Amino acid sequence: MLDLDPADAIVAALWREATTSRASVTQLLRGYFRQVELKPRQQKRIKQLLHRVLASRARIDAALEDAAPAGIVESLEGAVRVLTSRVLDGGLSPAEAKRTLTWIDWERVANFESRLARIDDPLRRVEILGSLPRPLARRIVERFGNEADALATALTGDAPRTIRVNTLQCSVEACMASLERDGIKVRRTEMAMASLEVLGPSQLFRTWAFRHGWFELQDEASQLVAELVAPPPGGIVVDACAGAGGKTLAIAAAMTGRGTLVALDVSASRLEELRRRAKRAGVRNLRVFRIRADAWTDEVEALLARADRVLIDAPCSGIGSLRRNPDMRDRLFADEREVERLQAIQIDLCTRVASRLAPKARMIYATCTVLPDENQRVVERVLATEPTLDVVRVAEIFGSERASKFTDASGTFLETFPHRHPCDGFFAGVFRKRQVDSAADVMATEGSIGGATESADGAEGVE
């Protein structure tokens, strides 16, 4: 056994569990912190280090291949990986690491980054920097070119801790004051309306504000997607892939208790979690339906046909939120055709919803991935098969100045990236069903596939 500092020893043990059990790293940490009483500062350190060791697997392996006796890297234990990760990140000096373990050349580990930067092959560099499987690294190099290194590096870093104030229950200021009374420092962020960044270690879920449903943990880009839904007063909103309800609850707050909010998902356990959260958040206009993936009941069909807004927060590869799920790397791209499989589901969901939308109703398509195959390519295919959809530019909904912080240059789609924005990588587009009165209109419509970004029914806000 190596003589590690106590927090490092805990991480080494958790690393072994994370790589052998089926539980996610979040479940493992939650279970451990429930059993062992630790200070917020210790919890934060353990979580960050475990995430880092899991997220930097390939980087650690490559550094050790260079610095450890040949042939032993495969058999190395969590303890060695923890030490290596800390030396790579500069948290532990080579001399300190040497006191624990002598047979690794820690100076070489500490200098690994400069050798890595000299690797000419961008694919190999991105594979190591982001500890990404080769098929994913290839897609990232193709899409991001010179920015691929920065994105890959960002995917192994710490994700910001952001909350959304539940404006159904309190104002942003009241929530800030309540958190402050519990010793938690927060600050306003710059993109979403009710978003706060949590500064420093804290046990958020023990606060008075959390117990009273005053906030939810939610990435800022995820909050922006929910804001894009922009429900009309008293309208019907369907969240077609609601999961545990991150966005459903944010939409509920925007609806201010009026209208009808409908949550659909194929997963019973996620919907159960959504019901629990909705109760705490004081949401009272919610109807929840567990659905089949390939067919909707008549009741759900009827709601979709009457809906003003339908959000499709589609199942996706989740690369934009990889920092929060570092162990997902091992499952990602286990099969090279995974992205094609997901794309088929995304297109199917969008075309089925689009064909049922009432005139002037909107569909909002969103993912938490940065791959064009799951974003722009899906949009192109859906617009080609559903010619009565118009794109509503994000800049039309949020105004050009605000939208410019998180859209492409034309202001059309929401796109965030972990290396450029203080949030996860998300994509979202908004589409409006056009009123088609006659066969001539359909023909005119077909001439404008994919190009129309202005609404046929006039200015925003008059619906």
Ligand X SMILES: C[S@@+](CC[C@H](N)C(=O)[O-])C[C@H]1O[C@@H](n2cnc3c(N)ncnc32)[C@H](O)[C@@H]1O
* b/e code 405-432 from CB counts within 10 Å (16+ = b): ebbbeebbbbbbbbbebbbbbbbbbbbb
Nearer to ligand X, 244 or 347 (CB): 244
Nearer to ligand X, 55 or 271 (CB): 271
In whole angstroms, how close is the CB of 348 to ligand X at the nearest point?
8
Nearer to ligand X, 99 or 331 (CB): 331
CB atoms closer than 10 angstroms to residue 256: 13
CB atoms closer than 10 angstroms to residue 187: 9
Nearer to ligand X, 235 or 246 (CB): 246
Q: How far apart are CA 269 and CA 265, in angstroms?
A: 10
Nearer to ligand X, 140 or 240 (CB): 240
Nearer to ligand X, 8 or 374 (CB): 374
Contact between 315 and 345 (Cβ < 8 Å): yes
In whole angstroms, how close is the CB of 314 to ligand X at the nearest point?
6
In whole angstroms, how close is the CB of 164 to ligand X at the nearest point?
11
Nearer to ligand X, 29 or 244 (CB): 244
In whole angstroms, how close is the CB of 367 to ligand X at the nearest point?
7
In whole angstroms, how close is the CB of 301 to ligand X at the nearest point?
14
In whole angstroms, how close is the CB of 211 to ligand X at the nearest point?
21
In whole angstroms, how close is the CB of 240 to ligand X at the nearest point?
6
- Residues of this chain that interact with ligand X (CB under 6 A) are 222, 240-247, 264-267, 270, 291, 293, 313, 315, 349
Q: How far apart are CA 88 and CA 82, in angstroms?
A: 10
